[in-house]
């Protein structure tokens, strides 16, 4: 009888250990799956095409105002020599899955009004770190960027930047579970350069003037982002898909 009780006790202890290990494994699998789903690599991302003259204005401002001493070139934070980034498009939504947008999704987006945008102030994202390439430790840096503002939408829905992001999320997900921005809040911006923290104060609040020509300067003037581009992140062998948006009158 005593031996039976011992066996029963051993069984209960082993069972509890098994349940505990199973729960730990399940939690780990959930966290791994969540991390994988939030990794944009190998998944499609949506970008709004920024007009060439806007990119040129940003690049010109950067070259005129940012000194070499302001740049953080080490710590794996500057994928381009000099730390000033090539002008890019506006990332609108990431982690859209590994399948390209269907014909139905593309058609639905062609009916969406192309948003009108303007450049806001130059600002920084602080608190970034990277490991120095010479093994000397961790370097701090800031991401210098210019805000992208959506012109207030009209009554017919034209110019609605955040509405476009929500529409993409629903089309790639569902009304009940739309794909959302991977951080708490979407701050539309275009990256300019990676800079040293002590240099940030020099650029905060600056305004980048836009020029459609050598004579014409536009401040706070709207421009239209007329195309959506779907790219697979870190996959240059996959051709991007361009979807034109509806042009408002």
What DSSP string describes 18-48? HHHHHHHHHHHHHHHHHHHHH--TTSEEEEE
Given a cut of 90, whether residue 205 has pLDDT beyond it is: yes
Q: 189-195 and 138-150: which strand pairing?
A: antiparallel
Given a cut of 60, whether residue 191 has pLDDT beyond it is: yes
Write the pLDDT tens digit of every residue in 207-239: 998 866 555 555 556 898 999 999 998 788 889
Q: Supply the pLDDT for residue 35.
A: 42
For residues 127 and 207, what is the distance between their CA atoms, to the nearest angstrom?
23
Q: Supply the pLDDT for residue 36.
A: 44
Maximum C-alpha span of the chain: 101
The rounded mean pLDDT for the chain is 80
Three-class SS of residue 64? helix
Q: What b/e readout covers 150-163, taking b as 16+ CB neighbours within 10 angstroms?
A: bbebeeeebbbbeb
**Which overall architecture, per CATH, does domain 40-244 show?**
Alpha-Beta Complex (3.90)
Q: What are phi and psi of 13, to 5 degrees?
A: -65, -45
Q: Supply the pLDDT for residue 6.
A: 65
Q: Between 79 and 151, name the one with better pLDDT.
A: 151
Q: What b/e readout covers 211-228, taking b as 16+ CB neighbours within 10 angstroms?
A: eeeeeeeeeeeebbbeeb
**Stretch 181-188: mean pLDDT:** 83
For tokens 């269907």, name the residue.
Answer: 102
The pLDDT-based confidence of 24 (bands split at 50, 70, 90) is confident
DSSP state of 199: G
Q: Supply the pLDDT for residue 200.
A: 92
Within a 10 A sphere around the Cβ of 26, how many other Cβ atoms? 10
């Amino acid at each position: 009888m005593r031996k039976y009780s011992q066996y029963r006790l051993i069984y209960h202890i082993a069972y509890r250990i098994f349940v505990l290990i199973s729960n730990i494994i399940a939690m780990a699998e959930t966290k791994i799956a969540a991390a994988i789903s939030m990794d944009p690599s190998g998944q499609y991302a949506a970008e709004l095409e920024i007009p060439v003259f806007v990119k040129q204005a940003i690049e010109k401002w950067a070259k005129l105002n940012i000194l070499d001493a302001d740049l953080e070139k080490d710590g794996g934070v500057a994928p381009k020599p000099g730390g000033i980034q090539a002008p890019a498009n506006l990332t609108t939504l990431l982690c859209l899955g590994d399948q390209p947008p269907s014909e139905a999704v593309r058609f639905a987006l062609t009916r969406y009004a192309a948003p009108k945008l303007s450049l806001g102030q130059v600002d920084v994202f602080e608190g970034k770190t990277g490991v120095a390439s010479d093994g000397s430790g961790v370097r701090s840096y800031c991401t210098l960027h210019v805000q992208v503002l959506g012109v207030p939408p009209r009554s017919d829905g034209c110019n609605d930047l955040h509405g476009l992001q929500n529409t993409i999320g629903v089309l790639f997900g569902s009304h009940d579970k739309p794909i959302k921005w991977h951080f708490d809040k979407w701050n539309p911006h275009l990256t300019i350069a990676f800079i040293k923290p002590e240099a940030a104060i020099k650029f905060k609040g600056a305004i980048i003037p836009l020029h459609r020509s050598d004579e014409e300067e536009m401040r706070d003037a709207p421009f239209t982002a007329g195309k959506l581009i779907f790219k697979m992140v870190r996959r240059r062998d996959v051709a991007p898909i361009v979807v034109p948006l509806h042009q408002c009158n």
